[in-house]
Amino acid sequence: MSELELRQSTVEASAEHIAPRGRRWPRPGTILAGGFVAFLVVATLAPSVAWTQDPNAIAPALAFESPSFAHWFGTDESGRDVYSRVVAGTGTSLLIGVTATLIGLALGLVLGLLASFAGRVFDFAVNRVIEVLFAFPGLLLALLVIVVYGPGPVTATIAVGLSTAPGYARIIRGQFVSIRSSHYVEAARVLGRSPARILGRHILPNALVPLSVLATLGIGQAIVWASALSYLGLGAQPPAAEWGAMLAAGRTYLATAPWLTAFPGLMIVGTTIATTILGRALARRGQEGR
Amino acid sequence: MRPEDAPGDAPALDVAGLHVSFGGREVVHGLSLRLHRGECVALVGESGSGKSVTARALLGMAGAGASTNAARLELLGRDLTDAGERTWRSVRGRDIGLVLQDALVSLDPLRPVGREIEDALRIHERLPRAARRARVLHLLERVGMPDPVFAATRRSGELSGGLRQRALIASALALDPPLLVADEPTTALDVTVQARVLDLLAEIREAGTGILLISHDLAVVARLADRILVMRGGRVIEEGPTETVLRSPREAYTRALLAAVPTDRPRGSALSVRAGASDAATLPPATQYGGRTRTTSAVSGPAPTGHGSERPLLQLHHVSKAFDVPGGRLTAVDDVTLELHAGETLGLVGESGSGKTTVARLALALSTPDSGDVVLDGIDWSRRPERERRPMRPRLGAIYQDALSSFDPRWSVGRILADAAARGRRLSGRADSLVDDLLEQVGLEPALAERRPLTLSGGQRQRVAIARALAAEPEVLVCDEPVSALDVTIQAQILDLLDRLQRDRRLAMLFISHDLGVVRHMSDRVAVMRAGRIVELGDAESVFRAPSHPYTAQLVADAPRIVA
């Protein structure tokens, strides 16, 4: 559960608000990661700006060209431009990553809120459910969902979201429990504030801000999982330009045309690293950002 | 008690021209210090004066990013000016022992204290296991541990604060070092426990160990030190034998430190001689709220205590409260009856665990009594459902020991105060002027409204906490250990401020502290609490002048004071 520990420490770091004050330039790594994510956003919103040719244009004469000035990432077995296909796949991959994370967070929030505010019976029940879910490896849980509901990008997204939910739920519950018993919540009670107001003004904002950091870290993770599912043929299906699906399609030619798999793979790695670096930078800034 | 430069007797510690800086900013400017075996030298100053950094530099542990250099740094005649980490490691523990303020964080929470003490023996000496064990028990006995064999098997969290501090001292003494550095060794402790730990340090000194005692409190130091060095802004500004420094201090700053000791100071006399003397370091010079503090706190004579026929504002009537604890049920508050009238300060004194904070929580209706009633201005406060209590809550204000944790970390000072003043209503345009007004009342400048509490000093935070408590215009103010986390000089300013506001607004104040001197200085009447019961209750002066209960007498005897 090293992933959980990482998240836990992130929450603590951002919850302690001990970051030194003062405007500092972001680290070079953060700037680089920001640039990369900016490129991904462009590729998602306006892929035609970023690609060099139609990602689905077949040119059998140009099949298996190695990377060159004309084809930055080379071409595939049908002569399609790999770079353009990687760009075209960005939207799908990011969409799956972000949506899956949002699903995980939303579920985690519901479970966490139930556990911390709906009384002891709920707390006990939710915690046992979370523990059972923890016992499954995340990917196995996702596979289970797909087995039941059939493969496809939508199921893959839901499956990844479901399998990340228990981690979020546990962290959210911990946040709520510690904030609810904090001195400043007590101080608000002494001032005569209503429970609804205390929840809205103090507990939710203080619990959710560190969560935004977690979510950023989670996106990278979700993209990797979604790509893994696509690679296994359970997410986006091969003709679609999705990174995991491209990996799956290219693996037949691994020995002769490694660029077919290397570049989509690099994009997955790069996206995960970039979002993680940004998430960490956010965590460092903590509350001091404003 | 030996002459400063006895011929033929090399000092245990000889430092000259010690400079410590962090990233180009020098925090200790050329400190010189000489300490003999069997002598206690005290380094006194407030937070930020550089005293702890000095102590650390003397152990070669000034920390990463610190650069230390000294013209002379000799320990037992051994030159350590250019010592590397390896050399320092051989020195620490064997030649110098270190005792820190909080034993809870200084001792490994997962290991029995016996093992912790044994570590030093294992690292520095080759002793058979049985001999080490025997030595550990002997050490624990020496520091006055009631049951050494049992204590050695306990983890630090399972011991009380005083016993923990003893265990820590035992670990520092394990190798019988000729020199002991004690950095605020009693600051987190109750007065009675503090007195015992100071007695223990005195015994250790008599046995021939040199002690460098670091504290912000001159009264603590007065009991033990042979010589005193007063430190301010990284410099020693006054130095001399204890008697001389305490009786005829040369520097105004030393006089301010002396005046800040509240013990035996009658009610209504100002403690902060030159208010702002310490906060001024963190505030621009424009903030001379000092004048105000001086004029108003110079009010003489006892506060008008308006009871008699008048109905008490807050009443605790035969209140009891018990908690479930591992291995049984703890009665935290046992049949306590108290009355608080408008315009009066009732002091509640007792050691930690005596139930003081539970009384505060019961008074604030943050918890409900198992039996008995809390009555607020004739209303059955403790029996009403929370929904009915809520509109009345602004009538009670609260101030806590740890001001920082009582503020929402996301909120600025201005928002905190505006929210409190709003009492749940909309303030629209008046918020800014209200906040400015509140800040002014507690002697802070309006510019602080923009800041977050995290960036304020301890004294400033407590002032903001006071401003927040006053914002809702309460009739009763409950202060739970409001100054125990502060330096004496800051403490003096906060006490003066509270005293002035209490008089100006005719507040009924419940003032809780473990520090008898502080309670005596603030209170009209005093309740002494022990193990959940009120053992003595009466007029502050008479209770302290002629205590009728032996426990009160003990408290009075143990209060740190400067014996003139």
How much is the pLDDT for B396?
93
pLDDT given for residue B116 in this prediction? 84
Inter-chain contact A182–B405, Cβ cutoff 8 Å? yes
H/E stretch holding A103: helix A82-117
CB-based contact (8 Å) between A128 and chain B?
no
CATH topology match: B13-250 vs B314-402+478-558: yes
Q: pTM score, two decimals?
A: 0.75
Answer whether B406 touches A (CB < 8 Å).
Answer: yes
Domain ranges of chain A: 40-288
Q: What sign does the dihedral B449-B453-B456-B457 (CA atoms) show?
A: positive
What is the structure's pLDDT at B270?
Answer: 77
Residues B148/B140, Cβ–Cβ less than 8 Å = yes
Q: From the CB of residue B67, how many other CB atoms can be counted at a distance below 10 Å?
A: 12
- Domain B13-250 is of which CATH architecture? 3-Layer(aba) Sandwich (3.40)
Question: Is pLDDT at B334 greater than 50 in this prediction?
Answer: yes
Residue extents of the structural domains in chain B: 13-250, 251-302, 314-402+478-558
Give the residues across from B536 on adjacent strands: B528
pLDDT digits (tens, 9 = 90+) for B442-495: 989 998 898 888 888 888 999 999 999 999 889 999 999 898 878 888 888 899
Least confident among A115-124, B39-48, B295-304, B476-485: B295-304
Residue B285 contacts A where some CB pair is shorter than 8 Å: no
Do the Cβ atoms of A205 and B410 come within 8 Å? Answer: yes
Q: Are the beta carbons of B406 and A183 separated by less than 8 Å? A: yes
Other CB atoms within 10 A of residue A44 CB: 17
What pLDDT score does B280 carry? 37
Taking all residues of chain B, what is their mean pLDDT, rounded to a whole number?
83
Q: Give residue-wise pLDDT tens across range B253-295.
A: 888 888 888 877 777 677 775 444 344 333 333 333 333 333 3
List, for residues A40-73, the tens digit of each pLDDT value: 888 888 887 777 788 877 888 887 888 888 788 8
Instruction: For the domain made up of A40-288, give the CATH fold.
Output: MetI-like fold (1.10.3720)
Percent of chain B topping pLDDT 70: 89
pLDDT for residue B276:
40
Sign, Cα dihedral of A36, A42, A44, A47: negative
pLDDT band at A286 (very low <50, low <70, confident <90, very high): low
Question: Does any CB of chain B come closer than 8 Å to the CB of residue A23?
Answer: no
| Residue B345, H or E segment | strand B345-349
Instruction: Provide the 8-state DSSP code for B417.
Output: H
Contacts of B364 in chain A (CB under 8 A): 190
More confident residue, B352 or A132: A132
Best mutation target, B368, B384, B408, B461, to test chain A (most A CBs within 10 A): B408
- Give the Cβ contact number of residue B312 at 10 Å: 18
CB contact (8 A) between residue A193 and residue B424: yes
| Cβ of residue A178 closer than 8 Å to a chain B Cβ | no
Cβ burial of B309 (10 Å; 0-12, 13-18, 19+) is exposed
Who contacts B96 (Cβ-Cβ below 8 Å, separation ≥6)?
A: B58, B59, B75, B177, B179, B180, B181
How many alpha carbons fall within 13 Å on the CB side of residue A237?
4
Determine, for residues B398 and A187 on separate chains, whether the beta-carbon distance falls below 8 Å. Answer: yes
Question: Tell me: domain B314-402+478-558, CATH 3.90.550.10, correct?
Answer: no
Q: Which residues of B fall within a CB distance of 8 Å from A187?
A: 398, 400, 406-407, 468
For residue B432, what is the DSSP state? H
Is B406 in contact with A186 (Cβ distance < 8 A)? Answer: yes
Residues of A in contact with B426 (CB under 8 A): none
Tally of CB atoms within 10 A around B114:
23
Respond yes or no on whether ipTM tops 0.85. no
Q: Does B364 sit within 8 Å of A17, measured CB to CB?
A: no
CA distance, residue B281 to nearest chain A CA (Å): 19
Question: CB burial class (10 A; 0-12, 13-18, 19+) of residue A63?
Answer: middle
- For residue A84 the two structure tokens come to 């353009």
Report yes or no: B123 and B115 within 8 Å, Cβ to Cβ. no
